[in-house]
Amino acid sequence: MKIELEKPARDALARALARYLKDECDVEIGGMDAMLLLDFISERLGPHYYNQALYDARAHLAARMEALGEAVYELEKPAKL
């Protein structure tokens, strides 16, 4: 699945990337080069961040489900036979 960004976000990210390269690496790139670099980063690095986010969300959800299970267990009433 390809990561698709809306045009305003994509443009802002490309500008931020170009600004970062200029400020931190003393490398100036044009708008088209920034877009191509952004595409490369999105295609190659994006899935790793996406997968990590899914892993983190899964772990968080599992912890919440465990807490919910414990809360339900606490609702049990003593039963007499």
Per domain, the residue ranges of the chain are: 1-44, 47-75
Tens of pLDDT, residue by residue over 41-62, are 999 999 999 999 999 999 999 9
**pLDDT confidence of 8, banded at 50, 70, 90?**
very high
Measured distance CA(33)–CA(6) in Å, rounded: 18
**Following DSSP, what letter does each residue of 47-68 receive, concatenated?**
HHHHHHHHHHHHHHHHHHHHHH
Cα three-residue angle 26-32-34, rounded to 5 degrees: 40
Q: Considering only CA atoms, which of 2, 1, 33, 39 is closest in space to residue 18?
A: 33
Does residue 64 carry a pLDDT above 80?
Answer: yes
Task: For residues 10-15, give the mean pLDDT.
Answer: 97
